[in-house]
Amino acid sequence: PLNAARLSISGLSELLVDGEGAGLVRQVERSLDTMEELLRTLLDISRLDSGVMLPEVTAFPLQDVFDALASDFTPLAAKAGLKLRLRPTKLHVQSDRMMFRRILQNILSNALRYTGEGGVLVAARARGDHAAIEVHDTGIGISPEKQNLIFEAFAQVDGSATRRFGGAGLGLTITRQIVRLMGGEIGVDSEPGK
């Protein structure tokens, strides 16, 4: 049904190139994108819960993932008036490349979504035989007592932020599950306004 809806919207967009109709077409396209992402996330959660999704660990340069993320997210950041910086790194990691990228995509997406001005910095540091990936932003922040809530399914720290910024409350849930599946750790250090 989503593919059929996309084809219909595509045909309609060719007929309506400007005006109010074109704006409505773009709105429907965004809604379909959101619905498709939600379905994909629910499917991933189901696969994780059932044990079907297993990591395929390989060694790869972290910079390759950073370059792909920069390519994907720099235009989105610029469109929002934000600066995105991924600090160059020479670190190599052993992980499932796709799952690792999905983790960083989810975190980076949230960082950009909840940052109204300023920017986002992604950096990697060696910590013994592990790598610590840090995402710093100038976003709205989260009070310490609500920080664990962001990793719960469908939980939102603040309903007004959800109405303002969007999101279904599943991105960080699946992120935490994937991190745990791969034997990693995830955490947050924030406070309101920081």
* Sequence-ordered list of residues with C-beta below 8 angstroms from that of 110, at least 6 positions apart, any chain: 167, 171, 172
Per-residue pLDDT tens for 76-124?
A: 999 999 999 999 999 999 998 988 998 999 899 989 988 999 999 999 9
Q: Where are the alpha helices (DSSP H) in 2-142?
A: 2-15, 19-50, 62-79, 97-113
Strand pairing category for 119-127 and 83-86:
parallel
How would residue 132 be classed by pLDDT, with cut points 50, 70 and 90?
A: very high
- Greater pLDDT, 2 or 186: 186
pLDDT at residue 194 is higher than 90: no
pLDDT at residue 162 is higher than 60: no
Q: DSSP letter at 90?
A: -
DSSP string of 154-173?
Answer: T--S-HHHHHHH---S-HHH
